[in-house]
Structure 1
């Protein structure tokens, strides 16, 4: 079966439309986050499928996007990754991490997502930063071990820790 070539511009237009009106903690348009995640993956040499999974990673969780629409714009593998990355109501974080770890693409997309979120978390309040630090230490340092994300995540985490320390002074 021949894979259809995905249209990255159409995927970006769709994600931008779905995230329209949403804002990040720092006030940026929300679409800046999935674009940044996709660009991190691109910079690391991942395929367009992986980049589109990065662009789409929050659609099912944060918008009214439908699985059928995501499939129409990508393929079954991208849809599977986006579905794996979607936190359902009442989800268990340990189970969430197990299913991400079992899918190589979901793993790298989640690590790119966490890296970008860590970098941006310096704009959050102290309570959020502390929660994010603990969560990263508990789940993501181990998840990133041995990947190209290990050192960047550790550096970004240290930057966030440092920003909390500066606030105490």
Structure 2
């Protein structure tokens, strides 16, 4: 049962970001999830940010974290900066592993992303953690459904590469954050690894 507050954490900026994210990603669906609208992932990330103690600014960045990478690169980042401010734009930029087209090779991109997590703000780290947790949950859920066929959806098809990536991310999050989402990511990655190696 909800309770009422006179000081809501989320206001009109969040509402505007939700509309903007829905418009930007309207035609996108999740990989392999039978047409599930991509906005579902963005809502999950924002929800995890909120449940992890994040601010409205971080929740907005959670809604927009894939906009630069998937919906227009630098011009989209400039629009986000204009609409939602420098802090949101900086978090979104730091959560993007590239805005280059075509994207650089997978391993190099992921190594660079993991490395830069050691230097980003804690505000950025929470948004990144929420994103990676939601993605890891989706991998585990889909692995339960389709098994190793799951990996055919990705440019890198070796499950050990994906496990390396999530273990490397987890190390960074464990070093820098003390929030329940880190333990949840560890639990999900452990279970995914058990299934892959079974």
| Alignment TM-score > 0.5, same fold | yes
Specify whether residues 6 and 96 from structure 1 end up closer, same or farther in structure 2 by C-alpha distance, changes over 3 A only: farther
* 2:86 is the alignment partner of 1:82: no
Mean Cα deviation higher: 19-28 or 83-92: 83-92
| Residue in 1 that maps onto 2:24 | 18
1:6–1:67 Cα change, 3 Å: farther
Q: Distance in 1 between matches of 2:25 and 2:159?
A: 24
TM-score, normalisation: structure 1: 0.84
Q: Does 1:31 align with 2:39?
A: yes
Q: Is 1:129–1:160's contact at 8 Å kept on the other side of the alignment?
A: no
Matching residue of 2:172: 143
5+ long unaligned stretches in structure 1 = none
Deviations 1:20-72 (A, max 9, x none): 11111223111111110110011122110011111111000001261222013
Q: CA deviation at 1:162?
A: 3.7
1:54-133 superposed matches below 5 A:
54-64=62-72, 66-88=76-98, 89-90=103-104, 92-102=109-119, 103-122=121-140, 123=142, 125-126=150-151, 127=157, 129-133=159-163
Distance in 1, matches of 2:158 and 2:54, equals 31
| Closer, same or farther: CA 128–120 of 1 in aligned 2, 3 Å | farther
SS at match of 1:101: coil
What runs of 5+ residues in structure 2 fail to find an aligned partner?
1-10, 144-149, 152-156
| Number of equivalent positions | 161
CA distance in 2, matches of 1:55, 1:33: 9
Q: Equivalent residue of 2:117, what SS? A: helix
Cα distance in 2 for residues equivalent to 1:20 and 1:150: 30
The answer to whether the Cα contact below 8 Å between 2:117 and 2:172 also exists between their aligned partners in 1 is no
- Please tell me whether the aligned partners of residues 121 and 129 of structure 1 are also in contact (alpha carbons under 8 angstroms): no
